[in-house]
């Protein structure tokens, strides 16, 4: 008869290690957590990353600026549009390229739709991690609408390569704008339904309230950004602080809350979906006619020698690109500062003293995308 479970370290029979992932239903891809447990209580948690490392940064050093475009949306496949267009905007800023106004509006519509779809997927998976399967499918139903709309204009459902230096690949037609408005109308009717099904549910609230509270020091220690930071009461959003594109022309709020627990992070993202909807509606109602590509885009992209930093607000936080150019067609180095990586780093401190069941709630509320952490 084989030896039964050897529980824990030799010197301490009360504690044991539990390996969670990389193949686990709720570590969202291939995150691995090494948990030191006492019963169900977590004494120490160690996230181990790197299982889906694809060397995007190294690839950038081996191809020219245009060839790196398709890589960008594969860094974070859930908000690929924001990354793709963010990279275009970075290079445009370096080259001093003017983007036609219509293209700017199209970019805003697509980016914000993408933000909503990313938040919807997060919403669904968080609820699934907490054991509620029905909201998950509600979210996917709505998300499907966005994917269809974006598919119509970009030709892909997830890993978009829609942006170009100086504009976007294709103009949108009236049907696209109408579909977008229809979606906004439908989704506004759906959001109260979500509220009654999930937000007001007492079990859900018990699972989330006062669970995974982030200390204020963590924000600085780990450079937290995005909804997590805003749930801690800091009004930080790149769209407002350092406006890029034409975000300064739009009227939207940066929601903040002070509780810093899982429930607050949940509420912040729901409110952000409302705000994104309002941005989309404003953009659709004001979109001007005109070209969608700048008239004179150099065939060879050769940014002047130097170091550049440009950041956008992705669905998960501050996405920065540090581009070092040596004056040739091929970037010397592109470092990607991805929000999930910084946000995940805080997990160790937050998980200490919680229970296994809280792990999935906290992890879900941080909203990580593994390929973006590993890059």
Q: What is the binding site for other proteins (CB under 8 A)? A: 1-2, 4-5, 7, 16, 18, 24-26, 40, 127-134, 137-138, 141, 197-198, 201, 203-204, 206-207, 355-360
- Residue 100, preceding bond cis, omega within 30 degrees? no
The structure tokens listed for 285 are 């109602």
| Cα separation, 150 vs 106, whole angstroms | 11
Instruction: Summarize the chain as % helix, strand, coil (round to 5).
Output: 50, 15, 35
Nearby residues of 182 by Cβ (< 8 Å), 6 or more positions away: none
Closest approach, Cβ 37 to other proteins, in A, equals: 9
Residue with smaller CB distance to other proteins, 198 or 280? 198
The structure tokens listed for 224 are 């937290």
Nearby residues of 133 by Cβ (< 8 Å), 6 or more positions away: 127
Residue with smaller CB distance to other proteins, 52 or 201? 201
Residue with smaller CB distance to other proteins, 140 or 308? 140
Closest approach, Cβ 157 to other proteins, in A, equals: 20
Q: Is 278 helix (H, G, I), strand (E, B) or coil?
A: helix
Closest approach, Cβ 195 to other proteins, in A, equals: 14
Residue with smaller CB distance to other proteins, 338 or 359? 359
The structure tokens listed for 41 are 């209580």
Closest approach, Cβ 33 to other proteins, in A, equals: 12
- What beta strand segments (E) does 159-212 contain? 163-164, 167-168
Residue with smaller CB distance to other proteins, 28 or 115? 28
The structure tokens listed for 144 are 């499907």
Residue with smaller CB distance to other proteins, 197 or 254? 197
Closest approach, Cβ 202 to other proteins, in A, equals: 9
Residue with smaller CB distance to other proteins, 55 or 137? 137
CB 121 within 8 A of CB 269: no
Torsion angles phi and psi, residue 272, rounded to 5: -65, -35
Closest approach, Cβ 149 to other proteins, in A, equals: 19
Nearby residues of 188 by Cβ (< 8 Å), 6 or more positions away: 277
Closest approach, Cβ 134 to other proteins, in A, equals: 5
């Amino acid at each position: 008869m084989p030896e039964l479970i050897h529980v824990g370290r030799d010197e301490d029979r009360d504690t044991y290690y539990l390996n969670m992932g990389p193949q686990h239903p709720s570590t969202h891809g291939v995150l691995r957590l090494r948990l030191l447990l006492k019963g169900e209580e977590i004494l120490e948690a160690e996230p181990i990353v790197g299982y889906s490392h694809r060397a995007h940064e190294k690839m950038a050093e081996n191809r020219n600026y245009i060839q790196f475009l398709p890589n960008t949306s594969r860094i974070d496949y859930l908000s690929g549009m924001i990354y793709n267009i963010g990279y275009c905007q970075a290079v445009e800023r370096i080259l001093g390229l003017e983007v036609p106004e219509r293209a700017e509006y199209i970019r805003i519509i697509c980016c914000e739709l993408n933000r909503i779809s990313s938040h919807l997927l997060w919403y669904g998976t968080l609820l699934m991690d907490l054991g509620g399967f029905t909201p998950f499918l509600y979210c996917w139903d709505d998300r499907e609408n966005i994917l269809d709309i974006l598919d119509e204009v970009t030709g892909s459902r997830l890993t978009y390569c829609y942006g170009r230096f100086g504009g976007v690949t294709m103009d949108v037609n009236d049907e696209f704008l109408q579909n977008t408005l229809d979606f906004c109308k439908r989704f506004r009717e759906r959001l109260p339904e979500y509220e009654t099904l999930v937000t007001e549910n007492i079990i859900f609230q018990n699972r989330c309230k006062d669970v995974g509270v982030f200390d204020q020091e963590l924000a600085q220690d780990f450079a937290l950004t995005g909804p997590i930071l805003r749930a801690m009461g800091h009004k930080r959003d790149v769209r407002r602080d350092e406006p890029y594109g034409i975000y300064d022309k739009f009227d939207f709020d940066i929601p903040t809350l002070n509780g810093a627990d899982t429930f607050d992070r949940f509420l912040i993202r729901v409110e952000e979906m409302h705000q994104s909807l309002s941005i989309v509606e404003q953009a659709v109602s004001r979109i001007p006619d005109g070209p969608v590509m700048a008239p004179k885009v150099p065939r060879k992209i050769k940014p002047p020698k130097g170091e550049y930093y440009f950041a956008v607000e992705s669905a998960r936080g501050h996405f920065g690109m540090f581009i070092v150019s040596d004056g040739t067609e091929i970037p010397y180095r592109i470092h990607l500062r991805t929000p999930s990586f910084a946000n995940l780093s805080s997990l160790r401190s937050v998980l200490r003293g919680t229970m296994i069941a809280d792990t999935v709630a906290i992890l879900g509320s941080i909203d990580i995308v593994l390929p973006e952490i590993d890059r």
